[in-house]
Amino acid sequence: MDPTPTIILFDGVCNLCNGTVRFIVKRDRAARFRFGSLQGEAARRVCAEAGIAAPDAGEPDSIIVVADGRALERSDAVLAIAARLPFPWPLLGAFRVLPQGLRDLAYRFVARRRYRWFGRRESCMVPTPALRDRFID
């Protein structure tokens, strides 16, 4: 496994977010990513180490990616994930030509409606034993 994995902090009770984690795991054959719920203590620790404030654990509104010593949020985080997935997903990097404010506006539009559109769980996702080592504690 990669000694410096890319960490993805996601809303553990959001069905869209959980589906996205499953999507990434399926395509991440090199196991470059580690995952953590924004509602967990590990997320607060990772955020502190990255020098950013941890989002509200009750209803976090952003995905956070910590990679190469930098913390990325919203559309920058999504594009960083796509860049690390196999072809054709890195092609989404073409959206970097759009101003970040515009990309984040689209991100926030979906983020505000994700529970209504996709639903939410009562508790955070519990990884299968086969995936347990891909999740941070």
Chain segment 21-34, per-residue pLDDT in tens: 999 999 998 899 99
Residue 47, domain member (yes or no)? yes
pLDDT band at 42, cuts 50/70/90? confident
Could you give the number of structural domains in the chain?
Answer: 1
Residue 133, domain member (yes or no)? no
Q: How far is CA 99 from CA 6, 37, 43, in A?
A: 24, 28, 28
What would the pLDDT profile of 78-100 be if each residue is shown by its tens digit?
999 999 999 999 999 999 999 99
Paired tokens of 91: 């092609």
Residue 102, domain member (yes or no)? yes
Paired tokens of 132: 């347990």
Q: What angle do CA 60, 64, 13 make, to 5 degrees?
A: 40
Residue 136, domain member (yes or no)? no
- Asked whether the predicted pLDDT for residue 57 surpasses 70, the reply is no
Query: CA–CA separation, 79 vs 15, rounded Å?
Result: 20
Give this prediction's pTM: 0.87
Query: CA–CA separation, 36 vs 43, rounded Å?
Result: 6
Side-by-side strand order, sheet with 70-73: 33-37, 6-10, 64-67, 70-73
Domain holding 22, by residue range, is 6-128
Residue 113, domain member (yes or no)? yes
Residue 134, domain member (yes or no)? no
Residue 45, domain member (yes or no)? yes
Beta strands in the chain (DSSP E): 6-10, 33-37, 64-67, 70-73
Residue 1, domain member (yes or no)? no
